[in-house]
């Protein structure tokens, strides 16, 4: 069963490339780039991966990102992620990155975007994974910084699929970033935003109304607001849910308490994703296996989640069609018992 879930053709729509930096690669890059670390070895670093909440995690994640210095580092990071993702059945990956986290340290935007794009091109072609890059504006910096990052990123427009919004949610409502999202959308970029992870349901409506978000990243707190649930359902707004992340960042106490089944029962469009797999101990396949085993979702429900991930992607129509056909072929070849 585990093999069936891992093999399911699927899209990953919510993964931060900086959050895929495994401790081994982190140490390798730190040595190569002479970046000092507070940890003696990989085991000591892994032991620090215990988080009380989002901010606690972000501090460790941003520190880890300092080892990324050169275009080559970003290329290797993208390749390492795509190899793991492909082994988990990922056929389409829409990958977040935090440009300001790097440019603030003096790294050129070109090294970040062109480095990631080169990794996506090489590994994507070799592994049969269609890819797209989504720079996220970090909420802890002001909109002026986001606007500068957008203008710099637009020099590499051909590599960009959309824009997103991440980092410290509480205290930073979507209204703070309305202008930069309007500018990005005027360039034809898709818009997504983290909302309703730690922040209140109002941040979800704000992301839709003020940012033009087409998908909501996390969105689990929508359930506190029935009218918002009805809106998300009626408008079929996809929510990119990250179950193991929600446990690690104490959004839910235990996986058994995760609201995913309630979200599905409410008729919401939900997808399963890994968020920051190197820090949360699970790639997308692990998230599929965990929700099947711990939340009692049957095979038909799991297939529906994989199908929804492909449909909610920003892939071109012909790519979506091919991946959906691959999914149906996979189900037929594995017995068709879970066709849903």
Considering the complex, state which of residue 88 and residue 275 has its C-beta at the smaller distance from Zn ion. Answer: 275
Pairing mode of beta strands 190-195, 162-166: parallel
CA distances from residue 13 to 155, 172, 241, 285 in whole angstroms, order as listed: 24, 23, 9, 13
Find the shortest distance in angstroms from Cβ 264 to ligand ADE: 21
Query: At 101, which helix (H) or strand (E)?
Result: helix 99-103
Cβ distance to ligand ADE smaller for residue 61 or 283: 61
Q: Which of 5, 9, 10, 19: binder of ligand ADE (CB under 6 A)?
A: 19
Number of residues interacting with ligand ADE: please give it, by CB under 6 A. Answer: 11
In the complex, minimum distance from the CB of residue 143 to ligand ADE, in angstroms, rounded to a whole number: 17
CA 16 to chain CA centroid, Å, is: 5
Spatial contact of 120 and 82, defined as CB atoms under 8 Å apart: yes
Find, among 251, 237, 242, 160, the residue nearest to 204 by Cα: 237
Q: Which does 197 bind (CB under 5 to 8 A by kind): ligand ADE, Zn ion, none?
A: ligand ADE
Residues β-bridged to residue 275: 15
Closer by beta carbon to ligand ADE, 109 or else 242: 242
Q: Which two tokens stand for residue 188?
A: 């034809």
Q: Which does 27 bind (CB under 5 to 8 A by kind): Zn ion, ligand ADE, none?
A: none
Q: Is 167 in the site for ligand ADE (CB under 6 A)?
A: yes
Task: List the single partner that 54 binds among Zn ion, ligand ADE, none, CB under 5 to 8 Å by kind.
Answer: ligand ADE
One symbol per residue from 107 to 146: x for binding Zn ion (CB under 5 A), - otherwise; what is it? ----------------------------------------
Q: Tokens 């898709």 map to which residue? A: 190
Two structure tokens written together for 166: 């991440």
Quick one: which of 166, 191, 263, 314 contacts ligand ADE (CB under 6 A)? 166
Phi, psi of 160 (to 5 degrees): -105, 135
Q: Which stretch binds Zn ion (CB under 5 A): 134-142, 229-237, 254-262, 271-279?
A: 271-279
Among 275, 282, 285, 312, binds Zn ion (CB under 5 A): 275
Residues 65-84: x where in contact with ligand ADE by CB under 6 A, - otherwise, as a string: --------------------
- Could you list the active site residues? 197
Taking the least distance from each CB to ligand ADE, the nearer of 55 and 175 is 55
Of 314, 332, 328, 5, the residue nearest 130 (C-alpha):
314
Choosing from 6, 16, 190, 320, the residue that interacts with ligand ADE (CB under 6 A) is 16
User: Within 13 A of 190's CA, how many CA atoms are on the CB side?
Assistant: 22
Q: Which CB sits closer to ligand ADE, 195 or 331?
A: 195
Following DSSP, what letter does each residue of 6-46 receive, concatenated?
HHS-EEEEEEEGGGG--HHHHHHHHHHHT---S-SSHHHHH
Half-sphere exposure at residue 291, Cβ-oriented, CA atoms within 13 angstroms: 34
Kindly identify the residues of this chain, within the stretch 226-255, that bind ligand ADE according to CB under 6 A.
245
Please report where in the chains the tokens 């930073």 appear, as a residue: 172
Contact pattern from residue 274 through residue 303 relative to ligand ADE, giving x for each residue in contact according to CB under 6 A and a dash for the rest = -xx---------------------------
Give the C-alpha separation, 210 to 206, whole Å: 5
Using CB under 6 A as the criterion, which residues of the chain lie in contact with ligand ADE when the complex forms? 16, 19, 54, 61, 166-167, 194, 197, 245, 275-276
């Amino acid at each position: 069963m585990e093999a069936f879930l891992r093999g399911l053709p699927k899209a990953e729509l919510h993964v931060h490339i900086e959050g895929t930096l495994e401790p081994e690669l982190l140490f390798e890059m730190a040595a190569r780039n002479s970046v000092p670390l507070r940890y003696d070895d990989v085991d000591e670093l892994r032991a620090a991966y215990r988080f009380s909440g989002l901010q606690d995690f972000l501090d460790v994640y941003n520190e880890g990102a300092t080892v990324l210095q050169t275009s080559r580092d970003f290329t290797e990071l993208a390749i390492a992620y795509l190899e793991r993702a492909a082994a988990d059945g990922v056929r389409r990956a829409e990958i977040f990155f935090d440009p300001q986290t790097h440019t603030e340290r003096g790294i050129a935007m070109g090294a970040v975007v062109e480095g990631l794009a080169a990794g996506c091109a090489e590994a994507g072609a070799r592994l049969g994974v269609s890819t797209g890059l989504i720079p996220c504006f970090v909420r802890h910096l002001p909109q002026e910084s986001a606007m500068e990052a957008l203008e710099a990123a637009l020099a590499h427009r051909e590599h960009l699929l959309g824009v997103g919004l991440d980092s410290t949610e509480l205290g930073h409502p979507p209204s703070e970033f309305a202008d930069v999202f309007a500018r990005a959308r005027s360039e034809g970029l898709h818009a997504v935003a983290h909302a309703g992870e730690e922040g209140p349901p109002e941040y979800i409506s704000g992301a839709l109304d003020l940012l033009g978000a087409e998908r909501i990243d996390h969105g689990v707190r929508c359930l506190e607001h029935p009218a918002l649930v009805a809106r998300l359902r009626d408008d079929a707004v996809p929510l990119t849910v990250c179950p193991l992340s929600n446990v690690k960042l104490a959004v839910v106490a235990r996986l058994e308490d995760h609201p995913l089944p309630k979200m599905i029962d409410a008729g919401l469009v939900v997808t399963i994703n890994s968020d920051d797999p190197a820090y949360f101990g699970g790639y997308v396949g692990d998230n599929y296996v965990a929700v099947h085993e711990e939340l009692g979702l049957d095979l038909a429900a799991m297939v529906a989640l994989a199908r929804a991930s492909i449909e909610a992607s920003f892939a071109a129509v012909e790519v979506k069609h091919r991946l959906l056909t691959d999914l149906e072929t996979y189900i037929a070849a594995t017995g068709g018992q879970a066709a849903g």
